[in-house]
Amino acid sequence: MSRDSAKLDEILERLKKLDSLENKMDSLSGQFRSLSTEVSSLKTSVNTNTSDISNVKTELNQVKAEMLSYKQEVRKLKTAHNTREQRLRSSTIRIFNVPTSLGESLENYKSLSAKVYDRILRPALSAAKLAGDIGVVPQIQNAVEACFRAFSQKEPEAMAASPITPPPPVIVRLSNSTIKWAVMKHRRSVPPPSEGERDAGFRRYVIVEDLTPDAHQLLKQLQADSRTDKVWSANGTIYYSRPGVSGAVKVKNIFDPVESILGS
């Protein structure tokens, strides 16, 4: 009987272990079901977030497309405005280093017009006639439509009474684009300032096109860039050349970034 009792005890012990394992399995099964529920919930959440992210990306791409379209429209409008403004300046030039004189003012520009015509415009137009570019040298009333100095906020009379270096540029609106073209082509024929004016620091007259503020700003930026050799304008269009490279490059749009214009 002792052997049977021992075996029975052993069987009972094993049954207890089996019961314990079964309980553990039930517990693990419950935990697994709980984890499965959590995983399913997480998957749903991930799918929802993925969908939200996809929607946000779509909306962001739409915003980017709208911003690009807006920038293109603004650029188009700015370009059109600049073109119209430059056309209004098609017969206008700027002359630098013209010494100021007593009596100059925005209201009294006749003396300035006469000085600019006699010392700068007529010599250039005479050279143009001699070269056969124009038939006659027009008189001042037929050549100059308006002439004034681009004074700063200071009083013009005060500036004229105390000349500064450099003086404000002179803006001349010529009667037509042909006269402007002749002056620009033969500007090197203009005599330099008088000896006394040269002693005062006025070395030479600088005659350039009257560019719009945006075009002038770009021209100065390109001139200051080491990747350019010469920078100039013709009929409101800016051109530049590169060091050691022959030929001129035309700037297609003045609102392009300098890096885009010049490249790396």
The predicted pLDDT at position 161 comes to 47
Q: Which tokens hold the place of 161?
A: 């009474």
Question: Distance between CA 209 and CA 135 in Å, rounded?
Answer: 23
Burial classification of residue 106, based on how many CB atoms lie within 10 Å of its CB (0-12 exposed, 13-18 middle, 19 or more buried)? exposed
The predicted pLDDT at position 154 comes to 53
Provide the β-strand partners of residue 149: 170
- Domain locations in the chain as residue ranges: 91-210, 211-264
The predicted pLDDT at position 1 comes to 53
As averages over each run of 10 residues, the pLDDT of the chain (264 residues) reads 69 73 74 78 80 83 86 90 92 92 68 93 97 95 92 53 69 95 95 86 90 94 94 93 92 93 80
The predicted pLDDT at position 16 comes to 73
Residue whose structure tokens are 């350039």: 208
The predicted pLDDT at position 55 comes to 83
Task: Report the alpha-carbon angle 141-145-149, nearest 5.
Answer: 115
Residue 167 makes CB contacts below 8 A (sequence gap 6+) with 97, 98, 99, 100, 149, 159
pTM for the predicted model, two decimal places: 0.68
Q: Which CATH number fits domain 91-210: 3.40.630.30, 3.30.70.1820, 2.40.50.90, 3.40.50.2300?
A: 3.30.70.1820
Question: Distance between CA 204 and CA 190 in Å, rounded?
Answer: 9
Burial classification of residue 109, based on how many CB atoms lie within 10 Å of its CB (0-12 exposed, 13-18 middle, 19 or more buried)? middle
